[in-house]
Structure 1
C-alpha cells in the first residue's frame, strides 16, 4: 500500500496544489476585502472571546489574546476540515464520476486550503508574541511536531468520515453535535488546567491528554507562550494513533471508492 500511496501522491500532487489554489481564489473572487478576510475572521473571533471571557468572566491567563488565538487557529483547522469531509464525495460529484483519482486526494486538497489559512493565523500569533514581548525558547520547535500530529489525525478522521458520509445521509448532523460538544471540552477559550483541575483533577488529566484537540491546543500554548516542553510520551501516542487512523482511512477508501459512484 505504501508504494501505491507514494505513486498516487507523486501523480496527483499538481492536482492537489492546483485545486487548493483554485478554491482559495474562488473564495475571494467576489469579495471586496479578498484575502484580508482570512486575517479578519480569526481576529474578530479572538476579540469577541477576549472580551467575553477576559473581561466579563475575568479570565486570568497570561497573554490572553494570544492564548485565545492559538486555540481558535487549531480548532478552526480541525473543525472546518472535519465538517467539509462528510459530503466531500457528493460535493465533488462532477470530478468523481468523470475521472479517476484516489478520493483521499480530495481530502488533501481541502487540508491544503485550510492549512494555508492556518499558516496565516500562526503568522498573526507570532505578531502577538512580539506585541506581548514573549521570549521565544527552543520549546517553540515542539509546535512542528504538534502540527504534524494534528495534520495526520485530521487526515485520518477525514478519510473515514468521507467514506461514511457517502452512505449515511444524516452523518453531518451527528458530527455537528459531536464537534459542538468537543468545542466546549477542548479549552479553546479557557485553560483546562486552571478551570477544571482544581475541582476535577482526574477529569482535567483526561481532557488534557486524551482529548486530542485539547492536547494539541494546550501543548501549543505551552510551547509558544509559556516556555514549557510538551509531554512527548503523549505526543508520540497521538502520533501512533494518527498514523493508524490515516492508514485505516486510506485502506477503506482504496477498498470502497469504486462503489461511491453507484451511491452518489
Structure 2
C-alpha cells in the first residue's frame, strides 16, 4: 500500500490532467457541449417515470427524484465498470512506451464519471427544492454511502482491468452481467415491495441495491440506511480494492507483453 500511496501522489497531476482532457474531448464536437451530461440522465429519468410511474402506476413518494438518485449512482458504476475492462488495451500507446501505474487510469476515468454523477446530484438538489421534499440531518448519511460506492467501484475496476487484459471476451460477459445487475438494483421500483426472503437477499447481496436504497432513505424519506450492512460492504469494498491494487502491481509487467 505504501507504493500505491507514493505512486498516487507522484502521478496525481497526470490523473487530473487526463480527466480534464477526457471531459473536453467528449464535448469538443458537440453542439450542446456539457449540456448532454444533464440532458441524458434527465431524459432517461423522464422515460422511466412515464413508463413505470404512469403506465404501471408506481406510487413511490417523489418518484421522479427517486428514479434520478438511482440513475446517478448506476450510471457512475456502469460507465466505470465497462471502461475498466479494456482500460489497458485502450491506452496501449501510453502504457507500452512509458511506465504508468495502471490504477491511475482507473482513477482518471472515475473522476470523469464522478464529475457527471455530481452534476446529477446537483439536479437532485433542484428536485428536492422543486418538490418541497423535507430534509433533515439524515442527509449526512450520503457521505459514507458515496464513499462506499466509490470504493466498491474502484475495487471492481481494478480486478476487471486485470482480467480484461487476458480474457478477450470479458467485455461481452460484463455487459450481460451489468444488464442483470441493473434489473436487480431497483432503479425504477422499490425492492422493499418484494416478499421475504427475496427482499433481504437482493438488498444484502447486491451492494448497489443496498447503497441506492440507503441514499433514497436518507435523502428523500428522512430515515437511516442499513448501517450494519453498509459497514460490511465498506469492508468488502476495501478488501477488493487492496486485492485489486496488489494484483495489478504483481502482473503489470506482463500486461505490455500481452497487449
Cα offset, 1:209, TM superposition? 2.1
Q: Which residue matches 1:12?
A: 11
**What are structure 2's unaligned runs of at least 5 residues?**
none
Residue 241 (structure 1) aligned to one of 225, 236, 242: 236
Question: 1:63 — aligned with what?
Answer: 62
Q: CA shift at 1:57, angstroms?
A: 0.3
What does 1:128-207 correspond to in 2, within 5 Å? 128-194=127-193, 196=194, 200-207=195-202
- Give the equivalent residue in structure 1 for 2:98: 99
The count of corresponding residues between Structure 1 and Structure 2 is 259
Q: Secondary structure at the match of 1:166?
A: helix
How far off is 1:84 after superposition? Answer: 0.5
SS of 2:197 mapped into structure 1:
helix
User: Structure 1, residues 182-239: CA drift from partner, whole Å, max 9, x if none?
Assistant: 0111101110112x1xxx3111011112210000110000010000011111111011
Answer yes or no: is 1:209 the counterpart of 2:204. yes
Distance in 1 separating the partners of 2:183 and 2:231: 25
Other structure's SS at 2:183 match: helix
Give the Cα separation in 1 of the matches to 2:5 and 2:124.
34
User: By how many angstroms is 1:3 displaced?
Assistant: 1.5
Q: Which runs of 4+ in 1 moved over 6 A?
A: none
Scaled by the length of structure 2, the TM-score of the pair is 0.99
Q: Does residue 254 of structure 1 match 2:252?
A: no
Quote the Cα distance in structure 2 between the aligned partners of 1:214 and 1:141.
19
| Structure 2: distance between partners of 1:128 and 1:143 | 16
Structure 1 Cα separation of the partners of residues 94 and 217 of structure 2: 43
TM-score normalised by structure 1 residue count: 0.97
**Structure 1: unaligned runs, 5 residues or longer:** none
Deviations along 1:4-29, one digit per CA (max 9) or x if unpaired, are 11111110110110000000000000
